[in-house]
Structures are given as structure tokens and as C-alpha cells.
């Protein structure tokens, strides 16, 4: 028996389900035998009592299925608040903001009046990194969970019960600073499980009534990374732009630890240490670039040769912190593909079909449904903390994604101004 089948049986076939299946088989057998012997009365059991037992067992199995579906739908909002207005009021840090007044009338008709002007997203952009160099000061030190989190570890971990999670070594950001176009990032090590019970469980209320946010990030000022008590693993969000100018977003699956069934950036992931650490186990700039490019290949099936040249100075544009996740650090990047939109779609279908035939036990991509928006139309969309409106249709998103769109739009405007200045200088 294959391990995948064994895991399925272990997870879903419990005592009640087995009883229900056996009872159903028994009823079927008796019915068949009764039909074969129509002239013979068969009184093996008390049908009323037996049917009641079978019905109760079947209802138990059905209720468990419904319970799992509901828990999966509710899980994200239980562990992380979706009251984003309250979050922006809770902290005095300068939040990412955006003016929707330039959005198209078709899109503005779909949002509340108060959202048609300036909106605030619970995200702090700490450093704009245009034309910057990076200096990574790495350490192999390991993050240790605070004692109070250790005491509630089981309680916090179980709220991820309907998500598909596995532990892995992550890079922790201990501090980052920007001086004279030099971005210094001090890093160490943490684990994904440590992040699950800190950053990704900020608003789950423990049995004693407290939450991680109330204990460690209660405001009014968000702690610096240097002073934070959370796991703070490094993640990145990125936009891939096709050669014909399209940016695509990916609809996330229902088994991811956050943002289930929402649209995210072309790439949204934690830094994979399998790609980011060198042979000595150190995190370097080359490792950062390698991790990003490898993630694009894994998630979008676009190999390195399908991308334009990528470098930190040109393509990593911001370092920001996600207030929803207690100030978790994120890098924002963009990269151009050599392929057109249709070529990317065609290659993705071919590669995913090939993987399906191999029946890989783990699906490497977060989702398989794309939303395409031409970069010339980014100014026309309406952006809110929890969604965007494009062509009159709403698409749910996490605030980190909405903020990354805002920052990217600002970067495109900066590039346009830069090009205009350079062209005037050559006249």
C-alpha cells in the first residue's frame, strides 16, 4: 500500500466511519439476500434499532466532514484579525496609503464612498530600496521562543489544523537599516513552526483570554525588528511581468497557512534556505537571488533562462513589515520574463500536467488560477486592504499583497520620472 493512501486512511477513517461503512455493507447484504429469498421471511435484526444506529453513525461522519470544511473556512480569521481599520488605528507607525481617486469609474462603483479617496493598509514600508546595494550580516544563532509561547505551544499550533504545514529552517531578520544607499540586513535562524505560533497566530485568543498581539505587539508603536520577540522569518513578494507587459496574480489554495482562497503576487513565499544558504551554511546576496529565481521556477514554471537578468540593485525595491503578522519582514521585487503571457500560460499547463502524471506527493505551487493585469492598467484598479477591484470585479487579497501593488505603482512612477529626467539631460 502506497504511503499516500495510508496517510489518507489514517487521517479520515476513524472508529465512527468504520462502523458506518460496516453497517451500510451489512444492510446492503441483507437487502440482497432478502431479494434472493422473497418467499422466506428473514428476521436477523431489529430493523428499527439497527437503522437508527446506522443513521446516527452516518450523521456523525457527515458532521465531521462539515466541521472540517467550516474550520478551514474560519481558520485564517481566527488566528489573524481581518479588522484592518482597527489595526491601522492601533499603531502610530506610518502605514502604506493609496489614493483611489484615479481609479476607473467602473471600479469605483464597486466600493464604499469612504474608500474612493485615500485608504490606509496595515503595512509599514520601512525602506525604499531603489538603486541600493545590500550587505547581509549573517549568523547561525537560533531564535528561541519566549517562555509564555512555549507554555501555549500546543494550543497555538492546533489552530493550523486544516492547513498543510511542515517545519523547515528559515532565515530570521534580526534588524535592517538603510544608510547612503546601503541596505544592511542582520540575520540569524528560526523555524517555520516558530513563526506559526508567533507571527501567524497573532490574534488567536488563548484559554486565559490573552493573544500574542496583546502580549508582544500591543502598540502604539510597532517594535523594531531588533527589539521584537517574534520569529520574524524573512519572506518575499514579487511581480513577474511578461514580455508583452502583463503582471499576473495567483489564487492561493485552501491548505496554505494564511491567505486561503485569496489572490497573491506572482510569487509569495518564505525564503527557502535550501536555495539561500551556501555550502558553509551562510546566507548571502547570491543565495537571496538564487532563492527568488528558484521559487519562480517552482511556483510559475518559468526557469532562469525564461527571465531577464535579475539583480538586487535594480529589482528588489522595498523592505516592509506586515502589521497583520506582527511586523513580519518582507522584501518586494519585480522581474521581467522573456516570455509573452500566452507562452507563460502554455508552459505552466504543460509542466503542471507533467507533474500530475508523476503524482508528486507535494504540490510545489501555491495555486493554479491566474489573474492577469496589464501594467498600464494598474492605475485604474481600486485598491483596498482586503481586495482590489479590476474591470468591475472584486478579487480578495491579503493586505501585504494590496500594499505591494501600491509600492510597485509608486516604483513605476519613480522609474517614469527618472527616465524623463535622463531624456531631458540628453537634449
- C-alpha 114/C-alpha 155 separation (Å) is 39
pLDDT at 203 over 70: yes
Query: What tens digit of pLDDT does each residue of 10-41 get?
Result: 455 554 555 566 666 666 666 666 666 655 55
CA dihedral 215, 236, 399, 144 (to 10 degrees): -10
154 sits in which H/E element: helix 153-157
- C-alpha 263/C-alpha 352 separation (Å) is 19
Kindly give the pairing relationship between strand 328-336 and strand 382-384: unpaired
Per-residue model confidence (pLDDT) at position 10: 44
- Give the HSE-up count for residue 306: Cα atoms under 13 Å, Cβ half-sphere: 20
DSSP conformational letter for 254? S
Per-residue model confidence (pLDDT) at position 34: 63
- C-alpha 20/C-alpha 26 separation (Å) is 10
Residue linked to cell 453513525: 57
Q: Are residue 40 and residue 63 in the same domain, yes or no?
A: yes
Query: What tens digit of pLDDT does each residue of 108-118 get?
Result: 988 888 787 88
Kindly give the pairing relationship between strand 328-336 and strand 235-241: parallel
Per-residue model confidence (pLDDT) at position 76: 76
pTM of the prediction? 0.83
Per-residue model confidence (pLDDT) at position 296: 95
Per-residue model confidence (pLDDT) at position 7: 46
Domain end call among 78, 94, 116: 78
Helix (H, G, I), strand (E, B) or coil at 413: helix
pLDDT at 207 over 50: yes
Q: Are residue 15 and residue 139 in the same domain, yes or no?
A: no
| Number of structural domains the chain divides into | 2
Q: Are residue 343 and residue 390 in the same domain, yes or no?
A: yes
Q: Name the strands in the sheet holding 182-191, side by side, starting at the edge strand that comes first in the sequence.
A: 133-142, 182-191, 169-179
Taking a C-beta distance cutoff of 8 angstroms, is the pair 197, 157 a contact?
yes
Query: What tens digit of pLDDT does each residue of 367-423 get?
Result: 678 999 999 999 999 999 999 999 999 999 999 999 999 999 999 998 888 877 777
Domain end call among 78, 111, 134: 78
Taking a C-beta distance cutoff of 8 angstroms, is the pair 266, 236 a contact?
no
Report the first-to-last Cα separation within the chain, whole angstroms.
Answer: 74
Per-residue model confidence (pLDDT) at position 97: 96
Q: How many Cβ atoms sit within 10 Å of the Cβ of residue 426?
A: 5
Kindly give the pairing relationship between strand 182-191 and strand 263-264: unpaired
- C-alpha 100/C-alpha 102 separation (Å) is 5
pLDDT-derived band at 361, boundaries 50, 70, 90: very low
Q: Are residue 45 and residue 114 in the same domain, yes or no?
A: no
214 or 2: which carries more pLDDT confidence?
214
Find the radius of gyration of the CA atoms of the chain: 26
Q: Are residue 197 and residue 50 in the same domain, yes or no?
A: no
Per-residue model confidence (pLDDT) at position 40: 54
- C-alpha separations of 180 from 132, 177, 290 in Å: 8, 10, 26
Query: What tens digit of pLDDT does each residue of 27-85 get?
Result: 666 666 666 665 555 555 566 666 676 677 677 777 677 767 776 677 777 889 999 99
pLDDT at 178 over 80: yes
pLDDT-derived band at 352, boundaries 50, 70, 90: confident
pLDDT at 3 over 80: no
Q: Are residue 65 and residue 88 in the same domain, yes or no?
A: no
44 or 178: which carries more pLDDT confidence?
178
Taking a C-beta distance cutoff of 8 angstroms, is the pair 26, 57 a contact?
no
Query: Which residues make beta-bridge pairs with 388?
Result: 383, 395
SS3 per-residue string spanning 125-136: EEEECCCCEEEE
Q: Are residue 99 and residue 63 in the same domain, yes or no?
A: no
Q: How many Cβ atoms sit within 10 Å of the Cβ of residue 193?
A: 18
The answer for residues whose C-beta is within 8 angstroms of residue 138's C-beta and 6 or more apart is: 171, 186, 187, 188, 282, 283, 284
CA dihedral 220, 222, 226, 227 (to 10 degrees): 40
Q: Are residue 70 and residue 207 in the same domain, yes or no?
A: no
Q: Are residue 70 and residue 176 in the same domain, yes or no?
A: no
321 sits in which H/E element: strand 316-322
Q: Are residue 114 and residue 243 in the same domain, yes or no?
A: yes
CA dihedral 286, 179, 220, 223 (to 10 degrees): 40
Query: What tens digit of pLDDT does each residue of 235-267 get?
Result: 999 999 999 999 999 998 776 766 788 999 999
Query: What tens digit of pLDDT does each residue of 123-172 get?
Result: 999 999 999 999 999 999 999 999 999 999 999 998 887 778 889 999 99
Domain end call among 61, 78, 95: 78
Range of the domain at 8: 3-78
Q: Are residue 328 and residue 416 in the same domain, yes or no?
A: yes
Query: What tens digit of pLDDT does each residue of 269-315 get?
Result: 999 999 999 999 999 999 999 999 999 999 999 999 999 999 999 99
Helix axes 15-36 and 47-79, enclosed angle (nearest 10): 150
- C-alpha 131/C-alpha 138 separation (Å) is 22
CATH number for the domain that contains residue 93: 3.90.79.10
Q: Are residue 235 and residue 292 in the same domain, yes or no?
A: yes
Amino acid at each position: 500500500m502506497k504511503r499516500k493512501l495510508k496517510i489518507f486512511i489514517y487521517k479520515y477513517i476513524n472508529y465512527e466511519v468504520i462502523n458506518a461503512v460496516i453497517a451500510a455493507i451489512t444492510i446492503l447484504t441483507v437487502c440482497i439476500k432478502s431479494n434472493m429469498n422473497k418467499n422466506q421471511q428473514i428476521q436477523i435484526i431489529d430493523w428499527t434499532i439497527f437503522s437508527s444506529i446506522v443513521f446516527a453513525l452516518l450523521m456523525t461522519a457527515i458532521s465531521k466532514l462539515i466541521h472540517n470544511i467550516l474550520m478551514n473556512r474560519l481558520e485564517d480569521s481566527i488566528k489573524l484579525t481581518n479588522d484592518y481599520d482597527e489595526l491601522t488605528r492601533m499603531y502610530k507607525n506610518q502605514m502604506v496609503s493609496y489614493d483611489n481617486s484615479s481609479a476607473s469609474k467602473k471600479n469605483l462603483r464597486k466600493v464604499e464612498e469612504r474608500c474612493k479617496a485615500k485608504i490606509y493598509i496595515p503595512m509599514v514600508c520601512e525602506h525604499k530600496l531603489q538603486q541600493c546595494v545590500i550587505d547581509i550580516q549573517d549568523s547561525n544563532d537560533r531564535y528561541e521562543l519566549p517562555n509564555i509561547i512555549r507554555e501555549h505551544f500546543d494550543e497555538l499550533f492546533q489552530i493550523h489544523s486544516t492547513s498543510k504545514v511542515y517545519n523547515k529552517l528559515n532565515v530570521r531578520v534580526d534588524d535592517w537599516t538603510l544608510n547612503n544607499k546601503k541596505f544592511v540586513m542582520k540575520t540569524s535562524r528560526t523555524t517555520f513552526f516558530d513563526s506559526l505560533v508567533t507571527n501567524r497566530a497573532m490574534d488567536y485568543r488563548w484559554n486565559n483570554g490573552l493573544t500574542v498581539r496583546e502580549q508582544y505587539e500591543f502598540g502604539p508603536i510597532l517594535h523594531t525588528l531588533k527589539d521584537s520577540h517574534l520569529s520574524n522569518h524573512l519572506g518575499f513578494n514579487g511581480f513577474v511581468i511578461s514580455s508583452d507587459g502583463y503582471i499576473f496574480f495567483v489564487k492561493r489554495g485552501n491548505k496554505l497557512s494564511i491567505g486561503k482562497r485569496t489572490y497573491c503576487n506572482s510569487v509569495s513565499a518564505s525564503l527557502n534556505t535550501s536555495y539561500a544558504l551556501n555550502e558553509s551554511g551562510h546566507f548571502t546576496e547570491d543565495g537571496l537571488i538564487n532563492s527568488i529565481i528558484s521559487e519562480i521556477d517552482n511556483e510559475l514554471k518559468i526557469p532562469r533562462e525564461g527571465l531577464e537578468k535579475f539583480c538586487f540593485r535594480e529589482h528588489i525595491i522595498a523592505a516592509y513589515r506586515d502589521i497583520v503578522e506582527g511586523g513580519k519582514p518582507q522584501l518586494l521585487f519585480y522581474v521581467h520574463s522573456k516570455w509573452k503571457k500566452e507562452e507563460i500560460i502554455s508552459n505552466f499547463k504543460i509542466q503542471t500536467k507533467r507533474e500530475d502524471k508523476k503524482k508528486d506527493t507535494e504540490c510545489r505551487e501555491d495555486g493554479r488560477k491566474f489573474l492577469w493585469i496589464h501594467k498600464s492598467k494598474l492605475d485604474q484598479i481600486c485598491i483596498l486592504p482586503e481586495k482590489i477591484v479590476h474591470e468591475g470585479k472584486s478579487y480578495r487579497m491579503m493586505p501585504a499583497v494590496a500594499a505591494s501593488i501600491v509600492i510597485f505603482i509608486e516604483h513605476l512612477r519613480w522609474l517614469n520620472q527618472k527616465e524623463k529626467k535622463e531624456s531631458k539631460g540628453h537634449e
